[in-house]
Amino acid sequence: MGRRIRRRSAEDDSEVNVTPMLDVVFIMLIFFIVTASFVKESGLDINRPDGQTQNDEDDKDKKSILVQINGQDQIRVGPRVVDLRAVRPNIENLLAEDPNKSVIVRVDENASNGVFVTVWDQAKQAGAANPVLVQPAK
């Protein structure tokens, strides 16, 4: 009996096995889905007020601490002009008098973002539970 030698034809060599590639793609897909659910975007929780009348705002100012930032990055806590480093101690002192006061931050549209973020962080560190951002009256 003779041995038969099987020759591979050109058709056998041209087949591409895509199964390993699909396995890798599915594993990568699962990895990206799982890791995307753990990504937390950082940002500020800002409470924007609804439309209010001027009288409502005046009543709130009596029961709240008003922090104003003008277009030249000048900061006022209540009626006093303060330095950026003095925002936190001033808010802490006012909250010590009445812990139920809320903090309202009024920012001019020309104020720099860095000053606003620093004031916002200092208000949170001073103990303000939910500072409120309002736009200046026009």
Give me the residue spans of the domains in the chain.
54-134
Beta bridge partners of 68: 76, 106
Instruction: List phi, psi (to 5°) of 28.
Output: -65, -40
Fold entry, domain 54-134 = Nucleotidyltransferase; domain 5 (3.30.420)
Average model confidence (pLDDT) across the chain: 77
Q: Report the predicted TM-score, pTM, of the whole model to 2 decimal places.
A: 0.54
Listed in sequence order, the residues at least 6 apart from 11 whose beta carbon sits closer than 8 Å to its beta carbon are none
pLDDT in tens, 4-34: 666 665 555 677 788 888 999 999 999 988 8
